[in-house]
Amino acid sequence: MPVDRATGHARGKAEADGADAGAEIEHALAGRGIDGGGQQHGVDGDAVAASAAATAARGRPAGRLRSGAGFHARDHVTTSCRNNRTSPEDYPFNMATVVSLEGKRKAPSLEPLLSLCADDMAQVDREILARMRSPVALIPELANHLVGAGGKRMRPLLTVAAARLCGYAADDDRHIKLATCVEFIHSATLLHDDVVDVSALRRGKPSANSVWGDKASVLVGDFLFTRSFELMVDVGSLDILAVLSRASSTIAEGEVLQLVSQRDTSTPEATYLEVIKAKTAKLFAAAAEVGAMVAGRNGPERVALQSFGMNLGIAFQLVDDALDYAGREAQLGKTVGDDFREGKITLPVILAFLRGRTVEREFWKRTIEKLDQRDGDLGAGADADRPPRRARRHAGARPPLRRHGARCAGPLPRHAAQGRAARGRRLRDRPGALSALPPKTC
Amino acid sequence: MPVDRATGHARGKAEADGADAGAEIEHALAGRGIDGGGQQHGVDGDAVAASAAATAARGRPAGRLRSGAGFHARDHVTTSCRNNRTSPEDYPFNMATVVSLEGKRKAPSLEPLLSLCADDMAQVDREILARMRSPVALIPELANHLVGAGGKRMRPLLTVAAARLCGYAADDDRHIKLATCVEFIHSATLLHDDVVDVSALRRGKPSANSVWGDKASVLVGDFLFTRSFELMVDVGSLDILAVLSRASSTIAEGEVLQLVSQRDTSTPEATYLEVIKAKTAKLFAAAAEVGAMVAGRNGPERVALQSFGMNLGIAFQLVDDALDYAGREAQLGKTVGDDFREGKITLPVILAFLRGRTVEREFWKRTIEKLDQRDGDLGAGADADRPPRRARRHAGARPPLRRHGARCAGPLPRHAAQGRAARGRRLRDRPGALSALPPKTC
């Protein structure tokens, strides 16, 4: 099915399902049922991420970003996606996904990309379990609570998808080790984040710190950090080590920057973007970049995948932060309103404060700067003018989301196409060298 | 001055100073005044460490361990050292140090070894400051509070001393980077330890967590961890990366093991030794080992230095744990009694519980297992039979201290001697290759 036809098909289907513009962000992702418990239903910005990543792995444009009116403070910003799941046979050539920033439509899913990378991801799951082992029983117990039994594995998925996209076909498991390493870095930061943010829920379950206490979370987080470095060393590439160690250091820097910006309503949007680039997008970027590197593609493919990961990560975090005001706890699988309670400065607050009237600014100063929060402040009440409701209006953060979402679909398809062409040429030169890459695996 | 003469000289001087056997551990180390503030007076077990490390760097036996009576539960165990500081001219050939496990004598000092490695350690200080830099001001501010302005730099000192001992004479600064890396790993664990232990004092100053809060300490600790990996990558040796990443992972494992053993008075001594090997000694071992590796000595010297570091680290932690019961806060520069308040299981508690009568065991069960602690429990009162007083009697942990102290002086001198001989031979083969190693710098 040609791209345009697939797009049209998806749109038609979404409209038939009664999708329409709505007043709130209404997307949720059908989670991966790794443990079969159905507890992994989460969002984490996958509306953008899933479709863009799936598209990247296929080397096709991420679909059209619907043109919309200019951004106004009073817009009801909505973010949702269409997902055209065709039959598995169609994936190698016919996949295309519409990313829409307007309208209330069916949720997108990571499933297409996960199906394509299923074998690799099953290996990643096994490697994760193997590398969490320790004679100290609390380590696998706590780590498994977070890493083994949940999560969509977006970052390791990026690594294996990028590696396969770049024609990785070696018989070894270096891409699996790198993907595991990336997941461990992410998991370590989650454990420490939940301690820092005093979070009670993570992935629909009580957070590790609420079960085992802050001390255990800090120390097991350290263990996962260090174990990730052991994995990197196993891979045996100093260049890859440089990328991942730099990313880890940038993440830590971003977390500290976020901490010092906390409760400061005058934080500029640029600082916020620096924070999310560092604490989130840098690991997405590195995850995709090392996929190219392990496949031996250190030229334009590496640059393109790094850029793709960075923009995907930014879009991801924009949505994640929006959902803390606009999402629903049962769908997200994590506590809603944590950012507000912590006095964390995210884009909805920055925009609401910047564009708000005096009374609204006073509200933000009281609740965020002084952390003087009262029942109903979070918008549970019926008062339509309550500022968090206004924050919800800004939660979509449409212009930056559109910008970074579009960038995900920028140079990558071109390079992916070049990658496919190169693969074809190489196959002619060295039959069998890259043929181990089955069409169905990205 | 021959070794025996120097030893005799030191002993005579100590006796002239009125040193005599005492009922408590009474050693303190003249600290390094890096910031001139004199706030770095601490101990951390340097009684053993300073003399053994200094001796190792010189390739001479660590002195005599005085023979003593067998270990009895009611012994007043004491640990103190003599320090024979001869003139600087004597160091290359005439240094020897007596490590005594009995008697109340003058404090030892790291100064001799620091003087020998002064140039390298000044470079390490500069590298530490340079590598703490970040556009996020809180990072250097907090890190400098802990790393920049205090500490005896024992672990990096081990690295540069081991490298020089093994004839490292390259013009580059790889040994400096490794030493910095080792200090950063240590500092990161200190920051996290203080959060986990709720410590208020560190190196004679308010701990970072008590000034900036737990969140900042966790995150800046992460930053130092990751920055240490960047440094390792800079050095460019996968073998060294493997040693240090493994050490980091073992440290984290040891910290978790310590946490799960907390408040369990039935913890066996063997488990305690596993904990201190992992959380403390492993980094000492790695610090010394990578010194040999960076000097290209991957044979017996590497093994000997690794073993030396491991035993030194064990001895160091035994003393450190003893001092939490027997030390004095003003001398130590850190809170005394933290282990007791936290319900941490250390050797003094294990021995006091094991050898105690019913009433003592009840005391430990109440205070350590139930954390039901009352004023005076820590031994501030006048009751001579109060159990922590008894813990003090066990604080010296003489047999394991003697065992590991002796091991510090085991194979190393032989290998050091071989190293010197090899250096001589090499110098004949390749004049100038190792001659950049000045005799005065180890």
Task: Tell whether B378 is covered by a domain.
Answer: no
Q: What pLDDT, on the 0 to 100 scale, is given for residue A246?
A: 97
Minimum-distance CB partner of A241 among B137, B218, B233:
B233
H or E segment and range at residue A342: helix A338-342
Question: For residue A254, what is the nearest residue in chain B, using CA coordinates?
Answer: B136
Q: What pLDDT, on the 0 to 100 scale, is given for residue B381?
A: 41
Residue at which a domain ends, from A59, A85, A110: A110
B428 Cα distance to chain centroid: 37
In the block, which residue shows the tokens 């500029």? Answer: A268
442 residues of chain B, pLDDT tens digit each: 343 343 334 333 333 333 322 222 222 222 332 232 333 333 333 444 444 444 444 443 333 323 333 323 333 322 333 333 333 333 233 233 444 555 555 666 778 888 889 999 999 999 999 999 999 999 999 888 887 666 788 999 999 999 999 999 888 899 999 999 999 999 999 999 888 877 777 767 788 888 888 889 999 999 999 999 999 999 999 999 999 999 999 999 999 999 998 888 889 999 999 999 999 999 999 999 999 999 999 999 999 999 999 999 999 999 888 888 876 655 656 667 778 888 889 998 898 888 888 888 888 889 888 888 887 777 644 444 455 666 666 655 556 666 666 665 555 555 444 444 444 333 233 323 222 222 222 2
Greater confidence (A48 vs B426) lies with A48
Residues A210 and A240 in one domain: yes
Q: What pLDDT, on the 0 to 100 scale, is given for residue A290?
A: 98
**Among candidate residues A409, A398, A314, the one with its CA nearest the CA of residue A101:** A398
* Mean pLDDT, rounded, of chain A: 70
Residues A283 and A416 in one domain: yes
Residues from chain B that touch A245, judged by Cβ atoms under 8 A, are 226, 229-230, 232-233
Q: Are A373 and A337 in contact (CB under 8 A)?
A: no
In the block, which residue shows the tokens 């060393």? Answer: A233
| Cα separation, B14 vs B106, whole angstroms | 6
Q: What pLDDT, on the 0 to 100 scale, is given for residue B6?
A: 38
Q: What pLDDT, on the 0 to 100 scale, is given for residue B397?
A: 55
Q: What pLDDT, on the 0 to 100 scale, is given for residue A144?
A: 86
Residues A135 and A187 in one domain: yes
B134, B214, B222: best mutation site toward chain A, by most A Cβ within 10 Å?
B222
Q: Do B245 and A260 make contact, defined as CB atoms within 8 angstroms? A: no
A259 touches chain B (CB under 8 A): yes
Q: What pLDDT, on the 0 to 100 scale, is given for residue A245?
A: 96
Q: What pLDDT, on the 0 to 100 scale, is given for residue B285?
A: 97
Residues A134 and A182 in one domain: yes
Q: Could you give the number of structural domains in chain A?
A: 2
Q: Do A214 and B236 make contact, defined as CB atoms within 8 angstroms? A: no
Residues from chain A that touch B257, judged by Cβ atoms under 8 A, are 136
Q: Is the pLDDT of residue A433 over 50?
A: no
Q: Which pair of tokens denotes residue A88?
A: 């598995």
H or E segment and range at residue B244: helix B238-261
Minimum-distance CB partner of A256 among B188, B219, B253:
B219
Question: For residue B195, what is the nearest residue in chain A, using CA coordinates?
Answer: A215
Task: Tell whether B230 is covered by a domain.
Answer: yes
Quote the pTM value.
0.71
Q: Is the pLDDT of residue A360 over 70?
A: yes
Minimum-distance CB partner of A227 among B137, B220, B249:
B249
Residues A271 and A179 in one domain: yes
Q: What pLDDT, on the 0 to 100 scale, is given for residue A299?
A: 92
Residues A158 and A298 in one domain: yes
CB atoms within 10 A of CB B376: 12
Task: Tell whether A357 is covered by a domain.
Answer: no
Q: Is the pLDDT of residue A380 over 50?
A: no
Q: Strands (DSSP E) along A2-130, which ranges?
A: 80-81, 99-100
| Cα separation, B11 vs A432, whole angstroms | 76
Q: Which residues pair with B81 in a beta bridge?
A: B99
Residues A80 and A158 in one domain: no
Q: Is the pLDDT of residue A63 over 50?
A: no
Residues A105 and A224 in one domain: no
Q: Do A136 and B246 make contact, defined as CB atoms within 8 angstroms? A: no
Distances (CA, A) of B387 to A53, A109, B155, B249, B362: 63, 62, 34, 36, 10
Residues A291 and A425 in one domain: yes
Q: Is the pLDDT of residue A286 over 90?
A: yes
Task: Tell whether B343 is covered by a domain.
Answer: no
Residues from chain B that touch A260, judged by Cβ atoms under 8 A, are 136-138
Task: Tell whether A249 is covered by a domain.
Answer: yes
**Among candidate residues A102, A13, A6, A20, the one with its CA nearest the CA of residue A54:** A6
Residue at which a domain ends, from A79, A110, A141: A110
Residues A44 and A101 in one domain: yes
Strand, helix or coil for residue B189: helix
H or E segment and range at residue B396: none
Q: What is the DSSP string of B85-154?
A: ---GGGHHHH----EESSSB-----SHHHHHHTHHHHHHHHHHHHHHT--SSTHHHHHHIIIIIS----H
Q: Are A191 and A144 in contact (CB under 8 A)?
A: no
**Among candidate residues B55, B33, B379, the one with its CA nearest the CA of residue B203:** B33
Q: Is the pLDDT of residue A38 over 80?
A: no
Strands B201-202 and B205-206: antiparallel
Q: What pLDDT, on the 0 to 100 scale, is given for residue A438?
A: 28
Task: Tell whether B107 is covered by a domain.
Answer: no
Greater confidence (B259 vs A71) lies with B259
In the block, which residue shows the tokens 């295309």? Answer: A96
Q: What pLDDT, on the 0 to 100 scale, is given for residue A374?
A: 81
| Cα separation, B244 vs B290, whole angstroms | 8
A260 touches chain B (CB under 8 A): yes
- Chain B residues 274-333 with CB within 8 Å of chain A: none
- Chain A residues 341-400 with CB within 8 Å of chain B: none
What is this model's ipTM?
0.70
| A201 backbone dihedrals φ, ψ, rounded to 5° | -125, 145
Q: Do A214 and B230 make contact, defined as CB atoms within 8 angstroms? A: no
| Cα separation, A148 vs B206, whole angstroms | 39
Q: Are B257 and A136 in contact (CB under 8 A)?
A: yes
Q: What is the DSSP string of A380-401?
A: TSS-TT-HHHHHHHHTT-HHHH
Task: Tell whether B311 is covered by a domain.
Answer: yes
Q: What are the tens digits of pLDDT across the range A112-167?
A: 888 889 999 999 999 999 999 999 999 999 888 887 666 789 999 999 999 999 99
The domain spanning residue B238 has which CATH number?
Answer: 1.10.600.10
In the block, which residue shows the tokens 């995900």? Answer: A408
Question: For residue A271, what is the nearest residue in chain B, using CA coordinates?
Answer: B136
Q: Do A192 and B222 make contact, defined as CB atoms within 8 angstroms? A: yes
Q: Do B256 and A225 make contact, defined as CB atoms within 8 angstroms? A: no
Residue at which a domain ends, from A62, A91, A110: A110
Residues A244 and A324 in one domain: yes
Residues A49 and A163 in one domain: no
Query: At CB < 8 A and 24+ separation, what contacts does A12-21 make?
Result: A13/A82, A13/A84, A14/A82, A14/A98, A14/A103, A14/A105, A14/A106, A17/A105, A17/A106, A19/A80, A19/A82, A19/A103, A19/A104, A19/A105, A19/A106, A20/A103, A20/A104, A21/A76, A21/A78, A21/A102, A21/A103, A21/A104
Task: Tell whether B143 is covered by a domain.
Answer: yes
Max Cα distance, chain A (Å) = 70
Q: What pLDDT, on the 0 to 100 scale, is given for residue A151?
A: 75
- Domain range for A99: 3-110
Max Cα distance, chain B (Å) = 70
| Cα separation, A374 vs A367, whole angstroms | 8
